[in-house]
Amino acid sequence: MRRIFKLLPSFQLLFAVITLADPLPKPKITTTTSLLHDMVHQLAGDSVEIISLMGPGVDPHLYKVTPGDIRKLSRADLIVYHGLHLEGRMAEALENFGKRKPTFAAAEVLPNDKLRTLSDIPDPHVWFNVQLWREVTLGLASKLSKTFPQLETQVGTRGAQYANELASLDTEVDHAIAKIPEQQRILVTAHDAFGYFGERYKLKVHGIQGVSTDSEAGLSHIQSLIDLLVNLKVPAVFLESSVGERSIQALTDGAKYKGHSVIMAGPLYSDALGEPGSGAETFTGMVRFNVKSIVTALGGTL
C-alpha cells in the first residue's frame, strides 16, 4: 500500500506530461459495463479515452457506485450506460449525472415494441439478439458523431464496418443454433438473461432466477424446472460467468435424483465480457464463445 502512495506523485507527473504533449485532448468517455466499453472501442478506436466502471466478469445488476466511480464519471465528457434498469443499483447516481453532463442510455434507443417485458419491466439483456445490438451500436455511433464532431468521419466508417460485421454474426449464430436437434433447443441458465437470444434464434429459454441476479427463486419454480429437465431430457444446463454455481448445482442434483443426468456446461458469458485472452473479451468473441458452448452441449455439431 505504502509503495502505491510513493508512486502517486510520478503518476501525476505522467498525467501532466500526457496532457502537455497532447494539444487537443482526447474526448473522455466513461462506460458502465464491459460490453459498452467494447462498443465504444469498436466505434472510436484509440481516438477517445475510455474508462469502464465494471471490469470483465462483473455483475452489473449488483454493482454499486464507489467514490472512485463518481470521480471517473465526473471526469467524463460523455457517460454511456446501458439503461433499462440493467445497472439496478446505480440508477440514482446515473440520473444525477444526467442533469449536468451529456449521458447516453444506449439500449434505450430501441423502440418499445422491440423490447421484451417481464411483468411490465423491460428486459435489459438486449445484446443477445445481435440484430438489436447492431441497432444500439448505430444509435451510439450517431450520438458520438453529434457530441464530438471531430470524430464524425472516423466513427461513420468504423460504425458502418462494425454494423456489417454484426449483421453477418447474426446469420452465423442463426445457422449454428439450427444445428441443434429441434427438441433439444432448450436453454436453462442461472438467471433470465437469454430471453432475447431465445426469441431471435428460436430456443426455449428458462432462468433459475429472474431478470436480475438480485432475487431468490421460489421452490415451486425450481421444482418445475427440474421436471422440465427430466421430462424433455434436456442434456445440459449452463453456468454463467457472473453468477455463482450453487443454483445450477441444485438443478443438476435435483434431476439426478429423478434419474436424469444433466451436465453442467459453460460458463456462458452473460452480463459481462471475459478476461483478455479468454476469447470472449470482445462482443463478437463473446457471442461466438457462447454459441459454441450452447451448440456442443445441446447436441449439435459445428
Residue 7, C-alpha cell as written in the block = 508512486
Residue 184, C-alpha cell as written in the block = 433439444
| Nearest distance from C-beta of residue 61 to another protein, angstroms | 11
- State how beta strands 204-209 and 186-191 pair: parallel
| Nearest distance from C-beta of residue 93 to another protein, angstroms | 15
| Nearest distance from C-beta of residue 46 to another protein, angstroms | 22
Determine if 216 is a binding residue for another protein (CB under 8 A). yes
Smaller CB separation from another protein, 61 or 143 = 61
- Of 191, 193, 196, the residue nearest 209 (C-alpha): 191
Determine if 108 is a binding residue for another protein (CB under 8 A). no
Determine if 275 is a binding residue for another protein (CB under 8 A). yes
Q: Which stretch binds another protein (CB under 8 A): 24-32, 123-131, 242-250, 288-296?
A: 242-250
Smaller CB separation from another protein, 54 or 144 = 54
Size of the site for another protein (CB under 8 A): 36
Determine if 59 is a binding residue for another protein (CB under 8 A). yes
| Nearest distance from C-beta of residue 264 to another protein, angstroms | 12
Determine if 250 is a binding residue for another protein (CB under 8 A). yes
What SS3 class is residue 297?
helix
Q: How far is CA 255 from CA 75, 121, 199, in A?
A: 51, 31, 26
Determine if 241 is a binding residue for another protein (CB under 8 A). yes
Question: What CA–CA distance (Å, rounded) separates 97 from 24?
Answer: 25
| Of the candidate residues 218, 277, 301, 302, the single one contacting another protein (CB under 8 A) | 218
Give the bridge partners for 205, in sequence order: 187
Cβ count within 10 A of residue 167: 13
| Nearest distance from C-beta of residue 132 to another protein, angstroms | 26
| Of the candidate residues 63, 104, 269, 289, the single one contacting another protein (CB under 8 A) | 63
Residue 165, C-alpha cell as written in the block = 460485421
Identity of the amino acid at 147: T
Question: What CA–CA distance (Å, rounded) separates 196 from 250?
Answer: 25
Q: Which stretch binds another protein (CB under 8 A): 88-96, 139-147, 156-164, 240-248?
A: 240-248
Determine if 253 is a binding residue for another protein (CB under 8 A). yes
Q: Which stretch binds another protein (CB under 8 A): 6-14, 48-56, 83-91, 197-205?
A: 48-56
Q: How many angstroms from the chain centroid is the CA of residue 211?
A: 13
Smaller CB separation from another protein, 54 or 187 = 54
- State how beta strands 103-105 and 117-118 pair: unpaired
Going across the sheet that includes 186-191, the strands are 204-209, 186-191, 236-240, 263-268
Cis (ω within 30 of 0) for the bond into 267? yes
Phi, psi of 147 (to 5 degrees): -75, -40
| Nearest distance from C-beta of residue 66 to another protein, angstroms | 7
Question: What CA–CA distance (Å, rounded) separates 40 from 159?
Answer: 10
Determine if 121 is a binding residue for another protein (CB under 8 A). no
Determine if 258 is a binding residue for another protein (CB under 8 A). yes
Contacting residues toward another protein, per CB under 8 A:
54-59, 62-64, 66, 208, 216-223, 226, 240-247, 249-251, 253-254, 257-258, 275
